[in-house]
Structure 1
């Protein structure tokens, strides 16, 4: 199936907020063999009472020259969070590269519309970094980020002066985010032919926003990159 397997080595960790922990690793040759692209993610394999358990994580600050990157873990009940909170330098974990892909739109879009939350901020930051590199910041970003914890809005988002970021508290199982976004994305604000849409929030919210883009506004599927990052 084209999967590539690697063994990562933990080098340390740091608290991003009380609810997010960043774990630093050596890549075991992953970046050299697989290359990197914006929003790149990998699958980590955890031992869950003797059973293999996998979760996908976005690469944070990948550095092919040093063979290192980091990953952010939400600190809630679960095997992945438990592993991250107890992982010590020198500890190993298996990873698989399969399925992750992204190509920055060409020509550069008029505007990039982004919907996400703390779980997708690493991917959003890599998208913003690539936007700056390939388009010299030509495409401004309008982003809505849903949050559940008071410290979430303190997480770094690598915006430019022309970008606009709005933090939306999670209410009514995500309905507040969907209503805010769909109310702002109208035929008067969106250029169907020239804009690009990147949506990665809770799965049902992502589906609702993509449905609005496709059915109500007529946005071509090739101008939308969408993924449900987690499920309620």
Structure 2
């Protein structure tokens, strides 16, 4: 099956390809599914780190494959396994996740320097993290919260479905969690960012849709947060 231009780009950049096998499928909510995989040796080649991600290839129904990026969770190099959590909305990725069963296989690719090593916790550890995301980036946010331990964090998450707000968030005693409904293409979370004043030395991690991510970066820069104190990645358009 053709991968089109996306496949050509992956090949040009010498992406590593893996064949993943489904080991279990676990519903989290009516709009969220966790799928376990054997890692095909990926975790031996790319050590586990917070927000680690890969690209999965899905049949788009037209005879071509399309790739989407997903965060790895529950990574266990000893058993060569991890899981991926799918926010179910629409499109070929959601169709695949909703129909997945143990024994199914799916192709994955990883560009060196992206899913492998593009983020690490800043040193020295910032006194506070400001985190903005939604259900698509929640798996990455949970790995980040696990990594920072009891460091204070202000987390703002967007929800679209009522069941989203019961999704597990790896908060701790020093985590301030805010859920905001997604309305007007992210207006509420952008307004929340405008009222968020970073403490000196804070670090921001932002992963919303493209427009919202850009807006929050601009707002936090205006509030005095330095460019090097912000990690931003639009998780969808």
CA distance in 1, matches of 2:226, 2:79: 39
* Structure 1 residues 98-113: aligned runs within 5 Å: 98=111, 99-100=114-115, 101-113=118-130
- RMSD over aligned Cα atoms: 1.2
Q: State TM-score, norm by structure 2.
A: 0.89
Deviates more, 1:24-33 or 1:45-54: 45-54
Matched residue SS, 1:151: helix
1:211 corresponds in structure 2 to: 218
Matched residue SS, 1:6: strand
Deviating runs (4+, > 6 A) in structure 1? none
In structure 2, stretches of 5+ residues that fail to align are 1-12
In structure 1, stretches of 5+ residues that fail to align are none
2:82 corresponds in structure 1 to: 69
In the alignment of these two chains, the number of paired residues is: 220
Shift of 1:2: 4.5
Matched residue SS, 1:130: helix
Shift of 1:121: 1.1
* Structure 1 residues 181-192: aligned runs within 5 Å: 181-185=193-197, 189-191=198-200
Determine which of 143, 148, 155 is the counterpart of 1:126: 143
For the pair 1:168 / 2:180, whether they are aligned, the reply is yes
1:222 corresponds in structure 2 to: 228
CA distance in 2, matches of 1:116, 1:36: 21
Matched residue SS, 1:88: coil
* 1:117–1:201 Cα contact (<8 Å) kept: yes
Cα deviation, 1:177-218, whole Å, max 9, x if unaligned, reads 100121122xxx531xx110001111111100001122x123
Q: State TM-score, norm by structure 1.
A: 0.91
* 1:34–1:97 Cα contact (<8 Å) kept: no
* Structure 1 residues 1-232: aligned runs within 5 Å: 1-48=13-60, 49-98=62-111, 99-100=114-115, 101-132=118-149, 137=150, 139-185=151-197, 189-191=198-200, 194-214=201-221, 216-231=222-237
* 2:193–2:219 Cα contact (<8 Å) kept: no
